[in-house]
Structure 1
Amino acid sequence: MKLKKLYFLFIIIPLLAFTTHKYYLSLTQIKFKEESKAVQIIINVFMDDIEIALNKDYDIDLQLATKKELKNNDVYFKRYLKTKLQFKINTSKKEFTYIGKEYDGDLVYFYLEIEDITEVNSIEITNKILLTHFPKQENLIKTEVHNKNKSVLLSKDDYREKLTYQ
């Protein structure tokens, strides 16, 4: 009987600890829509992570996807994204328009757009989303420009990348 307890304590419990490990990852999809002369951006992050970050940064209580959710939460999302996300298209800094957000399960999708873009030869992205609060956070960037797909994984130590499409 003692042997079974020891086995359980030293083998099973450590294995269970590994299965509950949480990954910190966001996905940013960037697509150049030549016909509409726009760069469309979709970002998805885990709801609990973005809620923790905004609650701490702005001293609020978002309570996302509940009846107590703040009615003006888009103001905070927009402000947060503007401070954590920057784009340069063809070496010129470009401001994005915050279109809105959508909840899907435990994810929040943010929709952004950069208008009046006639050509894309390069995109430089700076993505610091959630890096302050989650040191192991990684931000995956996937782009599609002129039917060319490129991806890069950004982190706390490497949060900026320039992708070229020539």
Structure 2
Amino acid sequence: MIVNLLIKMKKLLYISGILTFFVLMSFTYVDFFSSMTKVDYIDGSKTLKFTTKINTSHISDAIKINPNTAGFEAEVKRYVNNNFDVYINGSPKTITFTGSQVSGETVWVYFETGGVSDISTMKIKNTILLSAFPKQFNVVSIAYKGSQKVMNFQRGKEVNEVSF
């Protein structure tokens, strides 16, 4: 009787030790590297509007400038222009940077491309933060004339294409 009770207590202690280990491991700090871009087609102006959400400290580390300094927006503009390309129906489009906004842990970046009448294919090259963070994962969500498409980018898959 006492032996059975001791065996049950030993099992209970073993199981509670394992559970404690997993609970403590769940509090381990893991940094998640991602950016998200929403693309909206504005039919009236034949424009694609891009809104990109990037972690403030990650972009700051990548461009080597403090987000609270005057030159931050100019560096973000240069960085996005060098790391995001759009091709509509096989033709490259010029991206026009329209602004950025630091909001705590997030930097919002706004840019657009005009002269887009009809889209049969859209190819995007998105290397935002891929060279700075090996596990970076970028998502682009496109809304075009009632259609919704999603693209994913990471190291080794920097270019993606969708058809409408």
Structure 1 length-normalised TM: 0.83
Identity rate of aligned residues, in percent? Answer: 22
Deviation at 1:11, TM superposition (A): 4.9
Deviations 1:84-131 (A, max 9, x none): 111101110011100001122311110001012122221100000000
Question: Whole-Å Cα distance in 2 between the matches of residues 104 and 32 of structure 1?
Answer: 25
Letter in 2 for 1:36: S
Partner of 1:146: 145
Q: Secondary structure at the match of 1:36?
A: coil
Task: Choose from 20, 26, 44 the match for 2:35.
Answer: 26
Distance 1:77 1:11, change over 3 A: closer
Question: Whole-Å Cα distance in 2 between the matches of residues 155 and 143 of structure 1?
Answer: 18
Partner of 2:158: 159
Deviation at 1:37, TM superposition (A): 1.0
Partner of 2:26: 15
RMSD: 2.0
Letter in 2 for 1:101: S
Partner of 1:112: 111
For these two proteins, the number of residue pairs brought into alignment is: 150
Question: Whole-Å Cα distance in 1 between the matches of residues 135 and 41 of structure 2?
Answer: 30
Pairing 1:15-164 to 2, within 5 Å after superposition: 15-17=26-28, 20-55=29-64, 61-62=65-66, 64=67, 69-164=68-163
Letter in 2 for 1:132: S
Given that 2:152 and 2:160 are in contact with CA atoms closer than 8 Å, whether structure 1 keeps it comes out as no
Given that 1:140 and 1:153 are in contact with CA atoms closer than 8 Å, whether structure 2 keeps it comes out as yes
Structure 1 runs of 4+ aligned residues shifted over 6 Å read none
| Higher radius of gyration, 1 or 2 | 2
Letter in 2 for 1:22: D
Letter in 1 for 2:110: Y
Structure 2 length-normalised TM: 0.84
Letter in 2 for 1:152: M
Letter in 2 for 1:88: Y
Given that 1:29 and 1:142 are in contact with CA atoms closer than 8 Å, whether structure 2 keeps it comes out as yes
Q: Secondary structure at the match of 1:53?
A: helix
Unaligned segments of structure 1, at least 5 residues: 56-60
Distance 1:140 1:11, change over 3 A: closer
